Amino acid sequence: MALETVSTTRSHGGVQGVYRHASTATGTPMVFSVFTPPQAADGAKCPVVWYLSGLTCTHANVTEKGEFRRWAAELGLVIICPDTSPRGEGVADDAGWDLGQGAGFYVDATEAPWAPHFRMWTYVTVELPALVAAHFPVDMERQGITGHSMGGHGALTVALRHAGRFRSVSAFAPIVAPTQVPWGHKALPAYLGDDKDLWRRHDAVALIEDGARLPDLLVDQGTADGFLDGQLRPQLLADACARAGIPLTLRLQEGYDHSYYFISSFMEDHLRWHAARLAG
């Protein structure tokens, strides 16, 4: 699994790197970023937190705007930020920003024209973890996962379908029930066809209703988020967790929107949540 270093930059005593490789899952080059904290300077393995980004984003949005490095360095966390979809000439796309390149929804597409390259589920759950384990000082027994919006959807569904892999799970303004909102009504049939059983496997609320469980969960949501009522609907998650007995900390942050100003404001809280569960 050859890995090309695009850049490395010293930050908070650690190293912020950007890397490229040829993905067998997507059949395209893929770029991701990794922050290794100072505790890993001598090759010591550190716990890892995966961050899955939202619609229109690449790895760069959170890497440049997420303001996570100070806290990751203090807490000794490796932070991994993959792209949201395959990209490049010959990769299917759509005129809308909520489908196609930048909007992979962390699924393995089965439908034309998406199926040849849009295999982000396999990429983030199988291929990239193996690559990271081979090349970086990570303790794969201590993994956490988080994400924003579409990436929050991905973080929740990945964790719910991989029981025991992640010791900690959180999300910023996640799409909690894509089978019940317009973004999902557009993306899921486009990528997965008309089989609604497949849709449920990529819906956190449906997965919980069908028996999947998490030890506990932290979600932050801005009250001034323009997508709150139409696309995100966190109360659906709260209700599902209450019925399933999943401890959910849902914090409605007054006046915050959907942007990285919101994410960076609460990034410290999320990384401390993860660090407490990844310790030892």
264 assigned to active site: no
Assign 3-class secondary structure to the chain: CCCEEEEEEEECCEEEEEEEEECCCCCCEEEEEEEECHHHCCCCCEEEEEEECCCCCCHHHHHHHCCCHHHHHHHCCEEEEECCCCCCCCCCCCCCCCCECCECCCCECCCCCCCCCCEHHHHHHHHHHHHHHHHCCEEEEEEEEEEECHHHHHHHHHHHHCCCCEEEEEEECCCCCHHHCHHHHHHHHHHHCCCHHHHHCCCHHHHHHCCCCCCCEEEEEECCCCCHHHHHCHHHHHHHHHHHCCCEEEEEECCCCCCHHHHHHHHHHHHHHHHHHHCC
- Find the catalytic residue in 108, 225, 270, 274: 225
- Find the catalytic residue in 202, 258, 270, 274: 258
225 assigned to active site: yes
- Find the catalytic residue in 23, 85, 149, 168: 149
21 assigned to active site: no
Q: Could you give the residue numbers annotated as active site?
A: 149, 225, 258
